Structure 1
Amino acid sequence: MTRRPHRRPAPGGPLPRARRSDRGAMTISLAIVFPAVLFTILLVVQAGLWWYAEQAALAAAREGVEAGRINGAQPGAGEERATAFIDRLGDLVRLQQQPQQLGGDPDLYQLSVTVRPVTLVPFVNPTITKSAGAPREKFVAPGQP
């Protein structure tokens, strides 16, 4: 009987067969790692939604303060402006409660806005409260202090 000479596979040729003990190892590894990767992506997206809600609440508070602090502003003008600002943002941010004017200082207008961001994590409903303030505008006659 003649022996066949052992030939090496050409580069780019067929791969050697896996041993029986290694069968399915890649599938198991993927099944273990994939949920962790998916959870990490979910957390990054959730952090972005929370950041967006914080920025939206702060911007709404600033908009409301700008509307409410001007000379001759109607009572509730700041609250209405902040509510309208949040309503324009769509479904990513919802008002938890109506904007509220803070403090009783006649020279300072302060407004607080509380929102609830969209959550991807079940059973988590955080609220975010941001406040802004500015001095009220008032008319001062020339030469007055």
Structure 2
Amino acid sequence: MFTAPEPADRDRGSSPIQVAILFPVVIMFLFAIVQAFLAAYAHNVAATAAREGVSAGRMYGAGAGDGAAKARTAADALGGGLLVDTSVSTTGSTADRIRITVQGRAVSLVPGLGGWPVSSSASGPVERWTTAGDR
């Protein structure tokens, strides 16, 4: 005569199978979260470098080249290797207004993937002396 197995015997081995199915999904989700934070940090670095460049380039007697140099220095110092292939541009700058754009790529956790492109711009008026008639 056949006897039904105990409930504990029927479920034996089901937990490792569930873990084997869910574990890769959980790992991919964690990778996606970390990658999103890396991209957000790289964007923050680019924005800060652009603001630093504008701040340096808009001072009285400074030029767009001074601002670009400061932006490069700030991107290298703040990036810590998380913002790669950085380029700084002063396209759009005029005699009265400076504009600095910092572009690069956020480092990727997956080898072989190029990384996410990151770009940020900042602009501001150039400081200059004026006379009472210029107001």
Q: Same fold (TM over 0.5)?
A: yes
- C-alpha distance in 2, partners of 1:35/1:61? 39
Q: 2:51 aligns with which of 59, 62, 81?
A: 62
- C-alpha distance in 1, partners of 2:42/2:131? 42
- C-alpha distance in 1, partners of 2:57/2:83? 22
Equivalence for 1:5: none
Question: What do the CA deviations read for 1:59-97 (whole angstroms, capped 9, x no partner)?
Answer: 100000000111101451111101111111211222432
Bigger Rg, structure 1 or 2: 1
Asked if the contact 1:62/1:132 (under 8 Å) is kept, the reply is yes
Unmatched 5+ stretches in structure 1: 1-15
Identity of aligned residues (%): 38
SS in 1 for 2:116: coil
In 2 relative to 1, CA 111–104 (structure 1 residues): closer, same or farther, beyond 3 Å? closer
> Alignment length, in residue pairs?
128
Asked if the contact 1:66/1:78 (under 8 Å) is kept, the reply is yes
1:18 paired with 2:8, answer: yes
Higher helix content, 1 or 2? 2
Question: What do the CA deviations read for 1:15-41 (whole angstroms, capped 9, x no partner)?
Answer: x8721x422100000000111111111
Equivalence for 1:119: 108
| Cα RMSD for the two superposed structures | 1.8
Asked if the contact 1:96/1:115 (under 8 Å) is kept, the reply is yes
Shift of 1:106: 1.5
User: What is the TM-score normalised by the length of structure 1?
Assistant: 0.80
Unmatched 5+ stretches in structure 2: 1-5
